């Protein structure tokens, strides 16, 4: 077995694009997610969170898009074969904290086709940023600037619940073709709604599996094993199982949200 990939090394080319593009507007840059929660796996993304002191202009948006299209993906034009998920926020949009939070720029491989057609990602409210900001404050590696806890305010528990409720319909609707991610994200939402703690997807799944009926435990166990690279990640023929798990998890998540509210 080869050495585990070093997250900082693999993030370095993307971090260089960000620092070159954003210049003195960059206040802090953070690596979070699986890279710091348990190490990079075969299919792990490079999750980056950048805090800037002013909104990006179109020149910066295009430069970021061009750089990310070149470096991100399973078959990038250059650089490591890792999908990149980047969120850029203006600090004054998050401090003082308010809900829903506002993202200034978002890149992910699910948006690649739009970026290739010239999309530049405009500022927009993004409830999911509530969860991301919590993850960055709780556990992230500093690539530039001070620790995230010095830049970002704590996210109130009630707003994490609001974000989960807001994000459920779109997440479940996007299940076809993204089954593993949806199943694991539902597991993380469930644990967060119950405990207020944002775990990694693998840890959330491990927490829930012993509590589930056998048929739902099997779906979550398969998703976790695929995420960890332990089984071939093939979901053909599992649509009914995923739909059943999603409906079950949605109901339990809503029960937990109501109990927390």
* pLDDT by position in tens, the chain (length 261): 455 667 788 889 999 999 999 999 999 999 998 777 665 555 667 899 999 999 999 999 999 999 999 998 765 445 555 789 999 999 999 999 999 999 999 999 888 999 999 999 999 999 999 999 999 999 999 999 999 999 999 999 999 999 999 999 999 998 898 899 899 999 999 999 999 888 888 899 999 999 999 999 999 999 999 888 788 888 999 999 999 999 999 999 999 999 986
Give residue 233's pLDDT: 80
Q: Of 120, 153, 186, at which residue does a domain stop? A: 153
| Last residue in a domain, options 153, 168, 196 | 153
pLDDT value of residue 200 = 84
Q: How many domains does the chain fold into? A: 2
Query: Do 184 and 108 belong together in one domain?
Result: no
Query: Is 10 a residue of the active site?
Result: no
CATH number, domain of 57, equals 3.30.460.10
Nearest-angstrom CA–CA distance, 189 and 6: 28
User: Within a domain: residue 90?
Assistant: yes
CA neighbor of 87 nearest in space, from 145, 40, 45, 36: 45
What phi and psi values does residue 143 have, to the nearest 5 degrees? -100, -25
Residues 15 and 115 in one domain: yes
| Same domain assignment for residues 36 and 145 | yes
Q: Are residues 115 and 190 in the same domain?
A: no
Are 142 and 172 found together in one domain? no
Residue 208 domain-assigned?
yes
* Residue 209 in tokens: 């599996």
- Predicted local distance difference test score (pLDDT) of residue 80: 53
pLDDT at site 45: 77
- What is the β-pairing status of strands 46-52 and 84-90? parallel
51 & 102 share domain: yes
Q: Does residue 29 lie within any of the structural domains? A: yes
Q: What is the pLDDT of residue 197?
A: 86
Look at residue 201 in the predicted model and tell me its pLDDT: 87
Helix 179-195 with 214-227: angle, nearest 10 deg: 110
The predicted structure's pLDDT at residue 1? 44
Predicted pLDDT at 77? 47
Domain boundary among 101, 130, 153: 153
List the structure tokens of 160.
């994490």
The residue assigned the tokens 């995230």 is 148
Q: Is residue 2 part of a domain?
A: no
Q: Are residues 43 and 147 in the same domain?
A: yes
122 and 181 part of one domain = no
Q: Which of 10, 16, 85, 241 is catalytic?
A: 85
Look at residue 229 and tell me if it is in a domain. Answer: yes
0.95 surpassed by pTM: no
Q: Report how far residue 11's alpha carbon sits from residue 19's, in angstroms, rounded to the nearest whole number.
A: 12
The answer to whether position 1 is within a domain reads no
Classify 229 in phi/psi space as left (phi over 0), alpha (psi -120 to 50) or beta.
Answer: left
Q: How many angstroms separate the CA atoms of 102 and 86, rounded?
A: 14
Q: Which helix (H) or strand (E) holds 22?
A: helix 7-22
Q: Residue 234's domain spans which residues?
A: 158-260
């Amino acid at each position: 077995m080869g050495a585990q990939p070093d997250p900082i090394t693999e993030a370095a080319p993307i971090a260089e694009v960000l620092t070159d593009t954003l210049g003195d507007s960059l206040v802090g840059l953070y690596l979070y997610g699986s890279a710091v929660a348990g190490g990079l796996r075969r299919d792990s993304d490079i999750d980056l969170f950048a805090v800037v002191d002013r909104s990006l202009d179109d020149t910066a948006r295009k430069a970021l898009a061009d750089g990310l299209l070149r470096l991100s993906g399973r078959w990038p034009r250059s650089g490591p074969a890792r999908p990149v998920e980047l969120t850029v926020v203006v600090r004054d949009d998050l401090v003082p904290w308010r809900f829903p939070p506002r993202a200034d720029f978002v890149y992910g491989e699910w948006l690649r086709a739009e970026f290739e057609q010239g999309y530049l990602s405009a500022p927009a409210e993004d409830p999911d940023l509530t969860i991301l900001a919590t993850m960055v404050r709780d556990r992230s590696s500093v690539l530039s600037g001070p620790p995230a806890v010095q830049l970002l305010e704590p996210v109130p528990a009630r707003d994490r619940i609001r974000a989960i409720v807001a994000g459920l319909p779109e997440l479940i609707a996007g299940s076809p073709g993204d089954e593993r991610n949806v199943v694991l994200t539902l597991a993380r939402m469930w644990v967060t709604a119950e405990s207020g703690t944002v775990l990694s997807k693998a840890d959330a799944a491990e927490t829930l599996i012993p509590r589930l009926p056998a048929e739902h435990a099997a779906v979550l166990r398969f998703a976790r094993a695929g995420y960890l690279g332990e089984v071939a990640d093939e979901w053909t023929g599992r649509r009914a199982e995923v739909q059943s798990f999603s409906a079950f998890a949605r109901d339990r998540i809503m029960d937990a949200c109501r109990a927390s509210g």
